Structure 1
């Protein structure tokens, strides 16, 4: 709007200059009246048609406006040669609003031809020569300056585009570094837990078993009480060890570069080797966004950690399928079922899955399976695979 107001002011000033120049030398006759009428017609053309082209017009209306400006300029110059000063407004305007460089040059040539016609109509052959001289100088300067400014504008637009691409690449690189750091930290925590807490709990279980075996040779009420305490210690140590191993499994990085299906199969093989629970995988989707793959993979990983800790299952199933615009992850087992468990009630596993799904714009459902056991279901919208972004692994 500010640019349009400046053009409004420039048009009014150009017309006013013409009026002032013709008012300087009275008396006034048909020449002055014609120049005033042409100045008025110039303002009408600008405010009624040309102003609508700002900031850049369409080709057909642009050419119509250029022809109207040329006609007004020719008529005004025929009445008063000083009217040619209006070209100081017309040339920049047709360059600024031109949809293409070719149309801008065409409009410049129309304006130059109007100058020649106006001078020729005013003074005959001598006017023709004068008009040609004026037109050549003005149109040459206008085209040279316009092409130069256009080149600068194109260069600026190219720099802006390259800067946007650079900033986008820097953002993606920063996200990749951040994700790599998160993955490395998860791996470090998993190793620390495995090498410290899990090993200590394993040793505690072995010591409790050994103490229990020694107490079997001792009779008496005190020995029976001590044996009960040791069995309780062993049970608590086993439960804590199971929790620690589940935490290690949940934190351990699983690479998704080979694709979601392959990453899920590796996860299933590792889980089956550690727990003895047979896990089958069915993942028929492809071309998913990297971030979406990570969300589904982490959800499956935490779901299996929940199976390890609570389900007491012998088999589990992981299924990933596309339904319309959504991708659905379903993890089921044949264990004891969820009971009254709710996300976030006894730990962070289910709450983490729910939060991951929510961040991806999806939903989370946890409850008993149709044939017993537990069913966990995550539904997330399918992202555009054509614009991948890094996700936390």
Structure 2
């Protein structure tokens, strides 16, 4: 059963109980005339009819519709009139206020209307009570006091309940806003996650498959010239590496090296392969101290990108790769080529350097690419290891 139906059922039971009480009072209390009991019964029936066919649909605090100005006025006029008629016949009919006053608040279109109509009802009831007593001074005073206390209690209770209802509506509105904000945040989070994943895939493709394909192209150009078996073997090896890297990307693994390999061994193999492909000697100096697996991947990717830039841009005679491990891991890739000409990292110089910078930043490191002290270019990556150990 819905909440609204439960509320209306409670009002139905209260109205029925009040009707029964009025019937009992009508035929048990002394009456001034033989018609008085039947007039009280008619008043009670009229009140039940106004409730059932007019006010009942508006008696919910949550989902009740707002009455039209005409419906609100007609219902409240009928309630006050029946209340006045009953009280003028029998003062005990003031008991009807237990139903009439709440219905006034329920059928009002605003709090101001509820207050005004409640005061009007108190005035009319006081006059009706005084009429029953022949406008004697004591009965007039009693009618004023009784109706005034009823009105004061009704106003206090009505304002309190109205405030609770307004707070509940505000709470529902805030809950709806919060739900909408959470949905928007989830959508933004999904979009950010998708964007981050696209950026990660772009970096991995550039740092692995694209580099391998570049090597294959350059080896194929060399093989067209000399046709040597060594060049063909290098092409085959580079193609196999590219295939392995592509498969590793699909399963979201590190394609750089076998997990059992150390970073030092991977850097040496990288230098040897680069020398075989380009004929450029690469001096590799590494530390044997362990480095976390995630940092190994980052440093190896940076070494690959650094040597790839040497191949494409440096016109160098030799290159070197140095790895130092202490409180931080420091990778230096340098060459004796033509240098950067004063260009700095972050000036829109291609995806490779920007991708390296982003990858290093993800592990809390820094990347700097500068002209060498004498000639060539120096790429330096620093990654603190103490932070990585604490986070792990």
Normalised-by-shorter TM-score class: 0.5 to 0.7
> Partner residue of 2:376?
none
> In structure 1, the residue corresponding to 2:135 is in which secondary structure?
helix
> Partner residue of 1:148?
160
Deviation at 1:185, TM superposition (A): 1.4
Deviation at 1:50, TM superposition (A): 2.5
Decide whether the 8 Å contact of 2:75 with 2:107 is kept in 1: no
> Partner residue of 2:345?
none
For 1:1-393, what aligned pairs fall within 5 Å after superposition?
Answer: 1-25=5-29, 29-54=34-59, 55=64, 56-126=66-136, 127-215=139-227
| Aligned-residue CA RMSD (Å) | 3.1
Give the 3 Å change call, closer, same or farther, for CA 90–175 of structure 1 in structure 2: same
Report which stretch shifted further, 107-116 or 77-86: 107-116
Structure 1: runs of 5+ lacking an equivalent: 248-393
> In structure 1, the residue corresponding to 2:109 is in which secondary structure?
coil
> In structure 2, the residue corresponding to 1:98 is in which secondary structure?
coil
Equivalent-residue separation in structure 2 for 1:52 and 1:158 (angstroms): 23
Give the 3 Å change call, closer, same or farther, for CA 208–196 of structure 1 in structure 2: same
> Partner residue of 1:277?
none
> Partner residue of 1:251?
none
Deviation at 1:71, TM superposition (A): 0.6
CA deviation map 1:334-393 (0-9, x unaligned): xxxxxxxxxxxxxxxxxxxxxxxxxxxxxxxxxxxxxxxxxxxxxxxxxxxxxxxxxxxx
Higher RCO (CA-CA < 8 Å; seq separation 6+): 1
Equivalent-residue separation in structure 2 for 1:20 and 1:134 (angstroms): 22
Report which stretch shifted further, 160-169 or 130-139: 160-169
> In structure 1, the residue corresponding to 2:217 is in which secondary structure?
helix
Instruction: Look at both structures and tell me which one has the larger radius of gyration over its CA atoms.
Output: 2
Equivalent-residue separation in structure 1 for 2:177 and 2:192 (angstroms): 22
Equivalent-residue separation in structure 2 for 1:66 and 1:110 (angstroms): 10
> Partner residue of 1:300?
none
Deviation at 1:147, TM superposition (A): 0.7
Decide whether the 8 Å contact of 1:79 with 1:122 is kept in 2: yes
Deviation at 1:81, TM superposition (A): 0.8
Aligned residues: 230
Decide whether the 8 Å contact of 2:22 with 2:93 is kept in 1: yes
Decide whether the 8 Å contact of 1:59 with 1:103 is kept in 2: no
Decide whether the 8 Å contact of 2:58 with 2:106 is kept in 1: no
Deviation at 1:26, TM superposition (A): 6.3
Deviation at 1:65, TM superposition (A): 0.8
Equivalent-residue separation in structure 1 for 2:221 and 2:57 (angstroms): 90
Decide whether the 8 Å contact of 1:63 with 1:103 is kept in 2: no
CA deviation map 1:280-318 (0-9, x unaligned): xxxxxxxxxxxxxxxxxxxxxxxxxxxxxxxxxxxxxxx
Decide whether the 8 Å contact of 2:55 with 2:107 is kept in 1: no
Deviation at 1:182, TM superposition (A): 1.6
TM, length-normalised to structure 1: 0.53
> In structure 1, the residue corresponding to 2:108 is in which secondary structure?
coil
CA deviation map 1:148-205 (0-9, x unaligned): 1111211222222222222322322232222222211111111111111111111112
Deviation at 1:52, TM superposition (A): 4.2
Equivalent-residue separation in structure 1 for 2:213 and 2:51 (angstroms): 87
Equivalent-residue separation in structure 2 for 1:195 and 1:87 (angstroms): 83
> In structure 2, the residue corresponding to 1:207 is in which secondary structure?
helix
Equivalent-residue separation in structure 2 for 1:167 and 1:48 (angstroms): 38
Give the 3 Å change call, closer, same or farther, for CA 23–134 of structure 1 in structure 2: same
